[in-house]
A and B are shown apart, each in its own frame.
Chain A
C-alpha cells in the first residue's frame, strides 16, 4: 500500500506562510524571468488561469481581480519542502521523494486506520510547517496518485466527489460500487503518466474515464499504445509495476533521490551519491530539452531509527540556467558541503532540479554543445582559453566559479520575488511588537 503526500498549490502555499495577507486573494507564482504561471492558488484557478499561462495574458487581472503575481523563490520552497518531507516521512517506513512537493510513502506493515492516521499527518504538516496537503492512498503508486487527485479535487470543488474523500482519500478502503463511481467520474487525462496525446487517442477510442481505462486489457494497451500505458493499466488494476526511476518525469522539476541500503556517515559516500544523482538528473534534463535554474540538495536521517535526527537542505541558484552536467554537479556538491554535518547516520539523499525552462529560450553568449563527449568538453575548454587569452584572464569562467555569491550584473528578471524568509538573516520576516 502506498500513500502520496502532496502539498496543495505548493509554491503559493509557501508564500502564504509568511504573507498571511495573501490568503484572501488570487495568487500566481511566475517562472524564471517572470514568464508564465507555474503555481496558482485555488482563487487564481477559479479565475480561469491555466497552468503555464503567460504573464502578459493574465496581467490585466492584477487590476480587475486583485491577482497577485510573485517571482519564484526557490530558496524558500526548498526549505519548506525539506520540512514537509521530513514530517511526512513519519507516515510509513519508507519514503520516496518524487518532486519538491510530492513524496510516496510505503505503508507496508503500518497498522490501524490509514485514513485516520493520514488525517493526523495532514494536520501536523499544516500546523508545524504551514503547508496544506492532500494525501492519496492506494495499492499501487498510480492509484495513490489518483487518490491524491481525488482528495484535492473533492476539497477544492465541493460536489465533484463525495465529501468524505476530501483531503485524504483511500481508494483501497472504498466499497467496489463507490470505487467504480469515483473512477467513472474521473477523466483519463488525470491518470499519472497519461499525457495529452495518449488521452486524446484514448478518447477517440471511446475510453474517456478512469473506469474504462482500468477495464482495458493490459496486453491490448501494450499492442495498441505502449509499454508505458500497459504498466499504467496494470497499476490501475492493482498490480504494482512502476519504480520511481521509470516514473513519468514531473512537470517543472526533475528529482533524483534514494534511500540508502544502510546508513551512511562519511562525506565521501554522500559526495559520490550526490554526484551520481546530479549526473542522472542532468541527463533527464537534456533528454526533455530543458535547462535548470536551481539545484536543490538534501540529506536526511531516518525517523524510524532511534539515532539523533538531522535534516539539511539547500537550494543553490545557478548563475544562468544550464543543462551541463559539470555545472549541475558542482552546484549540488557546493550545496552538500554547506549542509553536511558529521556524526549523523544518513538514510537518504537527493537532488532536485528546479526552475526548468526550455533550452530554446536560453540566454547565453556562447553556443556550447552538450558535454557528454570528451571531445565537446575539449572544444569548450579551448574556446574558454582562447577567449581568456584574447580578452584577459577571467573573461570567461566556469559558471561554478560564480557560485560563491558574487552577483554579476547579469541576473534573472525576478522583480516580484519575496525575501529568503527562512534562509537569509537579513530577510527574516518581521513581526510587530
Chain B
C-alpha cells in the first residue's frame, strides 16, 4: 500500500505577493549598528586620517562593545579630548598613528594614560546635493 499525502493550500481573497516574500526595505542601521546600546556617532574634524578614508566632517560610527585590537581605527581620549587614530599595540605598548604623513604619531609619555574610548566601525560621508 502506498499512501499519498497531498497538501493543498486554500487561498481566499486576493493573494498578496508581498506576504510571501517577507521582504523588508534595506535599512542602513542594520549594517552600521551591531550593538545598539554601545554605538555612538561622532563627527570627525581635521585631516590626520585622510589616507584611511576619514575626511573632515565625516560621521564616524563608534562601537564601544568591540574590543580594540592592533590596526583598528579607534577613538581615544588624549588629555581629555577625543582623537581618532589607528591603534598600534606591540608588547603591551601602544601608539596612535595618523593616516597622513604630515601628522606625528601620538606616543603616551611617562605617566600619561591614553584611554581607548571606542572602535570606529564605519565612516559616513555625505556629499552636497
A interface residues (Cβ-Cβ under 8 A, vs B)? 19-21, 23-24, 83-84, 86-87, 127-130, 309, 311, 343, 421-422, 428-433
Contact = CB atoms under 8 A, between A and B. Distances in A.
Nearest to A309: B36
A431 B44 contact: yes
Nearest to A24: B80
B44 to A, nearest CB: 4
B36 A432 contact: no
B43 A311 contact: no
Contact of B37 (A20, A24, A83): A83
B118 to A, nearest CB: 9
29 contacts: A19-B80, A20-B77, A21-B79, A21-B80, A83-B36, A83-B37, A83-B38, A128-B65, A311-B37, A421-B40, A428-B41, A428-B42, A429-B43, A429-B82, A430-B82, A431-B42, A431-B45, A431-B60, A431-B75, A431-B84, A432-B48, A432-B81, A432-B82, A432-B83, A433-B44, A433-B45, A433-B48, A433-B56, A433-B84
A84 B38 CA distance: 9
A432 B59 contact: no
Nearest to B35: A128
B108 interface: no
A129 B37 CA distance: 6
Interface in B27-53: 35-38, 40-49
Interface residues of B, number: 32
Nearest to A129: B37
B97 interface: no
Contacts of A431: 42-45, 60, 75, 82-84
B77 A127 contact: no
A20 B36 contact: no
Contacts of A86: 37
- Greatest chain B CB density within 10 A among A24, A422, A431, A432 is at A431
B87 interface: no
- The 6 A-B residue pairs whose C-beta atoms are closest, nearest first, are A21-B80, A128-B38, A433-B46, A431-B82, A83-B37, A433-B44
Given A20-B82, A428-B41, A429-B42, A311 B48 contact: no
Contacts of A128: 35, 37-38, 64-65
A127 B65 contact: yes
A79 to B, nearest CB: 10
B57 to A, nearest CB: 9
A429 B117 CA distance: 13
A428 B57 CA distance: 11
Given A20-B77, A20-B117, A87-B37, A432 B65 contact: no
B59 A433 contact: no
B112 to A, nearest CB: 13
